[in-house]
Amino acid sequence: MREEKKIITDFKKLVLLLKNKNICKRAVVVWPEENHTQEAVCKAVQEGFIKPVLVCSEQTKKEFADKNSFQAFIANSPEEAARKAVEMVKNGGADIILKGFLNTDVLLRAILDKEIGILPKDTVLTHITVAKLPEYPKLLFFTDAAVIPTPTDKQRKEQVRYIVDFCHAFEIECPKIALIHCSEKVDERHFPYTASYKVLKEEGEKGVFGKCIIDGPLDLKTSCSTDALKIKKINSPIGGDTDALVFPDIEAGNLFYKTITLFCHAETAAVLQGTLAPVVLPSRGDTIDSKFYSLALASLISDSLYNKEDK
């Protein structure tokens, strides 16, 4: 009999996998001056998959870090905290960054800084979300809801590479990647990127991204529903059972993210990809659970895709 325990179909199973593999990563928490971040960190510590280092105000050190026996550095401002966190990653002192109560811009400025930053030259920075929808039988990976406005062909290729790697980290042997468009037809005139979809599909077949199945253009329904595929009489190796969605641009990715969290009771986790360590950048509206799951995601990704030379 084949062992099936490995299939991670929801976030609880992800946390279980981290336990089974004894994964525990050092997370630097930038300016955790509010309860939601603090609660998510405590929960992740209880589950054993992170060891936190805070960069915080003197008050938060006293009232939160010391009480919980968490290591902490004092910073005088969010800007200073951001720079310190980035420095820690660069020096090998942290595996993950979690943004607390500061503007995304402030943290991104430190991350992207040409001198102290942690985005290697010529590396594409993008954003990957993992969602659990009540109406879908497995986790759904997608990119990009937050970073690249309109991906170039090169950027899209990296998005595909990253998301395949993510699926592999989740132990999905041969992930199915759908390149999303409003129809199934390549239309270079109105939608030039549909031509690049064809190229990515061919590269997928050649093994450029490792073991995976890439298909597109497909729409959301023909990607995620075998019924829709049958009704439209479309042949797709994905078979309406996709693991991941690559969206044409940030408007589509962001809208999908917001629609499923507002109207579909979806749970989500997300990280930046491309940096020297996974970065969790929660939005103001994100739940504690979403931050907790994002830390779990970042821990798995850090373990699977980073510091491979250490193993």
Q: Which of 220, 241, 289, 304 binds a copy of itself (CB under 8 A)?
A: 220
Residue among 284 and 311 whose Cβ is closer to a copy of itself: 284
Q: Which of 254, 287, 304, 307 binds a copy of itself (CB under 8 A)?
A: 254
Stretch that binds a copy of itself, among 75-83, 204-212, 217-225, 300-308 (CB under 8 A): 217-225
Q: How far is the CB of 225 from a copy of itself (least distance, A)?
A: 6
Interaction between residue 247 and a copy of itself (CB under 8 A): yes
Stretch that binds a copy of itself, among 53-61, 94-102, 180-188, 273-281 (CB under 8 A): 180-188
Interaction between residue 228 and a copy of itself (CB under 8 A): yes
Handedness of CA 86, 38, 72, 70 (dihedral sign): negative
**Total residues binding a copy of itself (CB under 8 A):** 38
Interaction between residue 232 and a copy of itself (CB under 8 A): yes
Interaction between residue 185 and a copy of itself (CB under 8 A): no
Q: How far is the CB of 8 from a copy of itself (least distance, A)?
A: 20
Interaction between residue 263 and a copy of itself (CB under 8 A): yes
Q: Which phi-psi region, left, alpha or beta, contains residue 114 (left: φ > 0; alpha: ψ -120 to 50)?
A: alpha
Interaction between residue 250 and a copy of itself (CB under 8 A): yes
> Is there a contact between 176 and 244 (Cβ–Cβ < 8 Å)?
yes
Interaction between residue 231 and a copy of itself (CB under 8 A): yes
Q: Which of 150, 153, 171, 199 binds a copy of itself (CB under 8 A)?
A: 150
Stretch 267-286: interaction string toward a copy of itself, x if CB under 8 A: -----------------xx-
User: Contact positions toward a copy of itself, by CB under 8 A?
Assistant: 133, 135-136, 145, 149-150, 180-182, 190-191, 219-221, 224-225, 227-228, 231-232, 247-252, 254-256, 258-264, 284-285
